Amino acid sequence: MKKNLVSMTLLAGALAAMTASAQVEVTITGSTAFRAITIDRAAFLYDSGSMLGVTNNASTGQITYSGTISNKVTSLRNTPVKIRLSFSGSGAGMLAVKNLTPVPTSETPGVNVNKVPDIALSDVFPGAATPPIAESAFDRDVLGVVPFVYVKNNALSGIVSITREQAVLLMTASGSIGGINGMPASYLGGTGGGASNPIYLIGRDPGSGTRISVHKDIGFNGTPLLWATNGAGQYVTTNGYSSGGLERDVIKGKSDAIGYLGLADAAAIAGFATPISYQGVAYSVAAVQNGNYGLWGYEHIVNRAGGLSANQALVRDALKAAITDQNFQTTNTLYNVSFVDLQNMQVERGSDGGPITSLNF
């Protein structure tokens, strides 16, 4: 009997070990622009009633889901799947995946663990990261199209458009330093009493896919002069904001501010700031898809080349399918209000800011 009890104990331990090893874990980082979509589509994968979620930092999308996804990946059956989400920006996310740099993830309420990310979402090609990453470092797929707009505070009357040349000059010539004023509002067509006053460019930090994309699209190479506000609401120079939400708040609140944003952030301050045309073309879905509007990039999903297990690859592919689903991209407001559906693109580009070429001829 004692021998049987020992055998049963060993068997139970072995079964527990097998169960633990059977769990599939995938840690995802990267693009803040696609954060809400990734959170939504990751949750979408789980079987009804099976999903548990732990959120320790909603502002960075630091959420961990666990449960089964047998309805989306039948071969996984009842295998537990844990998806850890922790977003840091496109460039930073790709570098974390490449360099095996751990990111903070939710474990239990109030308790975090650092995990090496398996996957990153990015608004830019690997070669546009700082430093550039070789294409061969990753397995990469395109998920969608991400447009950007220049937005000006509504107090800047008369400004309706910006050319590529003006956008490049604005990168290093805005604001006022040492009593010397930079670009006046009148240079962009500004009118009214404040037209001779300088405008202030508000932008993103170096790891931001939004910043990288806009720089590439307008052909700017160098370090921009960007502005932030301090606790007293006064302008100070900065390396850029870590999120579109922080950037938009400054554009909303400062009468002489201009910046570049994703569509969701621009829409959030619609009562206080207005998108302007680029190269004389106003943003629209059709203008992006037919090649008339040039401020856009792709959303990519990347993982280390050959770096996923077979089951992790199944989870990645299921997430990719959920995001690229044509019905989701064209009818779900989480996507279609802020992004352009991939399937109806009539043009393409092979690099960030690269030539726009036709898919039809």
By CB neighbour count within 10 A (0-12 exposed, 13-18 middle, 19+ buried), where does 132 fall? exposed
pLDDT in tens, 192-208: 989 999 999 999 998 78
CB-CB contact of 323 with 157 (8 Å): no
pLDDT in tens, 244-290: 899 999 999 999 999 999 999 999 999 999 999 999 999 999 999 99
pLDDT in tens, 302-339: 999 999 999 999 999 999 999 999 999 999 999 999 99
Two structure tokens written together for 27: 């840690």
Q: Which domains does the chain have, with CATH numbers?
A: 2-144+298-358 (3.40.190.10), 145-289 (3.40.190.10)
Distance between start and end Cα atoms, the chain: 79
pLDDT of residue 21: 45
Q: Determine the average pLDDT of the residues in 135-157.
A: 97
Candidates 320, 318, 316; CA nearest to 303 is 316
pLDDT in tens, 19-35: 444 899 999 999 988 99
- Which residues is 105 bridged to in the sheet? 113
Candidates 237, 238, 232, 224; CA nearest to 253 is 232
pLDDT of residue 18: 44
Q: Per-residue pLDDT for 209 more than 90?
A: no
SS3 at position 315:
helix
pLDDT of residue 3: 52
Q: Determine the average pLDDT of the residues in 342-349.
A: 97
Sequence-distant (6+) residues with CB within 8 A of 14 are none
Q: Per-residue pLDDT for 15 more than 60?
A: no
Q: Determine the average pLDDT of the residues in 8-27.
A: 61
pLDDT tier at 88, thresholds 50, 70, 90: confident
Angle between helices 90-99 and 209-218 (to 10 degrees): 110
pLDDT tier at 17, thresholds 50, 70, 90: very low
